[in-house]
A and B are shown apart, each in its own frame.
Chain A
Amino acid sequence: MENFYPPTLKKLIKALSSLPGLGEKSAHRLALFLISKVSLCESLGDLLKELPQRVKLCRICRNFSEDDLCSICQDISRDPSQLCVVENPMNLLQIESAGIYKGYYYVLHYLLAPKEGFGHRELGIDDLIDLIKERSVREVILALSPTLAGEATSSYLATTLENYPVKVTKLACGLPMGMEIQFADYITLKRAFMGREVLKGGSYNG
């Protein structure tokens, strides 16, 4: 049936289906939806054209930005002694919107993925080290997901930063809030035991 479609529509379906997570069917549905939405098509077209020119990586933290520096790096009220390393801008946004952290960030964009040809040299750690020196950072907070790749990347970063006068911390890992203990696997439980919180010291406070 698609053979009877005009060439432009066919090309659009093909282009859309090359997007991650979109199969041929969804691409088809989107394309047909767009046909009747003239103004949406125009504004989408303009945005898509501008996107690569306008949105770049912040010179300092590699977050998305339209300026040379992103809004976070431009904000001088933040605490320069803390630097939080995140995997991607989505994770940065998640931490930002929680409103719990007031230091600066550094975005890796990748985790170690040797099977995809991505090793430690490709992580771009030199820029991170320059930043630590420049800003006289005192604590580097590794906020990578505790997956195998995330933890391997954190360990690599911690080893690399060993010779720099900074404290390196990693987000706590253990039982997720609201989870019942019987559902936790042994790695999670082990971490939870290793990272227990002291509620009261050993001495008797009467």
Chain B
Amino acid sequence: MLFSLPAFVLDKIKVKEIDYLIELLTPRGKIKALAKGAQKSRRRFVNLLDDLTFIRAHLRKPQRGRTLILEGADALYIPESPRYVLKKFYFFSYVAEVLSYTSFGPLNREQFGFLVEFIKEIDRNPWEDIYKCLFETRWSVISGFAPLLDECVKCQERPRRLFYFSISAGGILCVNCKDDQSIRLSSFQIDLLKKMAKIEFPEEMSELKESFSREEGLQIKSLVEAFFLYHIDWEPRSLPFLKSEVGSPDNG
């Protein structure tokens, strides 16, 4: 049975001397498919099996065995800037690694669509450090562990002026429930977190850029990263490289 799906390439692993096992992110969730002969003759797949390349994957269910076969692929979007800008190369590796490692089910149209637009937006524009923060926020929403920001995680009370954020509790705590590890946040910061979680189109990010240039915004960036890493419970290998570049001037 042959079928086609739009897909992002997340990873490729060499199998035997000639094949690649490709991991794809599709609207149906993640799938693995064998690209036969792709190590030797790259003609069918040339330029299409790198991280976060967006393809239309032509897949076949084999009669025997369970691994899908990637019969062919058409380019839908090939990000070019990671070839020239080190930060973007590291960021795309980071995104691919996170998507490959974290588990999640099928993505709805908006979620998959967001990812498509997000990748294009980053590829076409100069690098912004908030891309990383936005990805971490959006991905925690999609994976279902986004922080609760409206009411205290413990007593459901709605704080008005004093907000304490607890990474391990998964959201805000009120003044009565706060513990040693919770971090005091301003209502500006809570607002920023809420806005980021709601972004549907990557263009909306530009409105938040100004907020992130303030000290309070910078604090949110590291908080989001800490929250994200705590809840995926693993440190991506590409993260230290990305962090060593983020904040330094563009090299592209």
Contact = CB atoms under 8 A, between A and B. Distances in A.
Contacts of A148: 50-51, 82-83, 89
A119 B90 contact: yes
A114 B237 contact: yes
Interface stretch (A37-45, A46-54, A71-79, A183-191): A183-191
Interface in B90-115: 90, 93-94, 96-97
Interface string B1-41: 00000000001001011000000000000000000000000
Nearest to A120: B86
Interface stretch (A58-66, A84-92, A124-132, A149-157): A149-157
Interface residues of A, number: 24
B118 to A, nearest CB: 18
B176 interface: no
Interface stretch (B137-145, B147-155, B156-164, B239-247): B239-247
Interface string B74-87: 01001010111110
Contacts of B241: 114, 119-120
A187 B17 contact: no
Contacts of B90: 114, 119
**Could you say which interface size class chain B belongs to?**
20 to 34
B47 A187 contact: yes
B251 A159 contact: yes
Nearest to A117: B237
B78 A186 contact: yes
Nearest to A160: B251
Contact of A21 (B16, B43, B78, B85): B16
Contacts of B197: none
Nearest to B244: A119
Contacts of A23: 16
A147 interface: yes
A23 B78 CA distance: 34
A156 B96 CA distance: 20
B35 to A, nearest CB: 15
Interface string B224-237: 00000000000011
Given A115-B238, A185-B46, A159 B86 contact: yes
Contacts of A156: 86, 251
Interface string B40-74: 00010011101100000000000000000000000
A25 B76 CA distance: 39
Nearest to B52: A148
A31 interface: no
A22 to B, nearest CB: 9
5 contacts: A21-B16, A147-B50, A148-B82, A187-B80, A188-B47
Given A119-B90, A119-B241, 11 more contacts: A21-B16, A112-B86, A114-B237, A114-B241, A148-B83, A151-B83, A152-B83, A152-B89, A155-B84, A156-B86, A185-B47
Interface of B: 11, 14, 16-17, 43, 46-48, 50-51, 75, 78, 80, 82-86, 89-90, 93-94, 96-97, 236-238, 240-242, 244, 251-252
